Structure 1
């Protein structure tokens, strides 16, 4: 009887939350559904512009070399499709913003190969310099968040990282 009661409560709660959402009110959270909610995560976003600029320079070089050679007469539509694909890739990397999310026991970021998470046991230290935030891993390369290259708000990132380090027993170094 207890499980069926819990299911009824959850069903009624989800219906009520849908109704409250339509009205613009906060959803209710009772019992187990409140415990399963994801903890607050603070996210800082940057802007990638170096790699897109490099790609556009590469495209310019590729076009200038191809147009000046005798091979250009033999190139067909694939030449322009290739150029369009490189431009699309540059636009994709420009609008796909890098970020740093700070949770209760993890740090998440978008790396070149995808989104990666570092949990507190995998972090050796957090170093904050002027314009840089460096997260040193136990194993692997350091994560560097720079104001100059990726437009990260490093000044705003330092205080939440200090709190994260204090709560999880991670050395925090400020230089």
Structure 2
């Protein structure tokens, strides 16, 4: 299909959904909404932050040689610091990383926010069995999805990315360690 035809379909679907919403009916799924999302779990950074909190508590509670120093555990700043690091660990735990695969784009979440790559800006897709997927953009750094680091379902992702690569004529390579 041509791009102009896809834009027309998207525009008319949006108009139809607005009318259906006013009438109290369920929206029609647009072609852009048909995506596959593969979620992982970030556990390394939260674990590191919790270990850091333990180290911080240990270092602060070591008795000082000078008896004139105040006890830092009684300070509200001490407890605020611990609560802040725990909140940060919880944020990284509950904010799950993902790979979103659409018809002509892939997307993921990075530290700086959600990122999207169109099919035309992808140089190659490499699957290293068992457990790694590398998406190489034409500009910028590689996107690496790992079963070990982020608990991604790599086998399902590899099958979907292979179809994505075939549909968009992107080089796809599968390696075994």
Task: Look up the match of 1:161.
Answer: 161
SS, match of residue 38 in structure 1: helix
Among 71, 74, 79, the residue aligned to 1:73:
71
Whether contact under 8 Å (2:42, 2:96) holds in the other structure is: yes
Alignment of 1:1-175 (within 5 A): 13-16=20-23, 18=24, 20-21=25-26, 27=27, 29=28, 38-70=32-64, 73-74=71-72, 76-130=75-129, 131-175=131-175
Equivalent-residue separation in structure 2 for 1:72 and 1:167 (angstroms): 67
Task: Tell me the TM-score normalised to structure 1 length.
Answer: 0.80
How much does 1:169 deviate? 1.2
Unaligned 5+ segments in structure 1 are 1-5, 22-26
Aligned-residue RMSD, C-alpha: 2.2
73-82 or 155-164: bigger deviation:
73-82
* Number of residue pairs aligned between Structure 1 and Structure 2: 155
SS, match of residue 71 in structure 2: helix
Residues 106-162 of structure 1: CA deviation (Å, up to 9, x unaligned) = 100011221111111221100011211110111111111101110000000011101
Task: Tell me the TM-score normalised to structure 2 length.
Answer: 0.79
Task: Look up the match of 2:5.
Answer: none
154-163 or 36-45: bigger deviation:
36-45
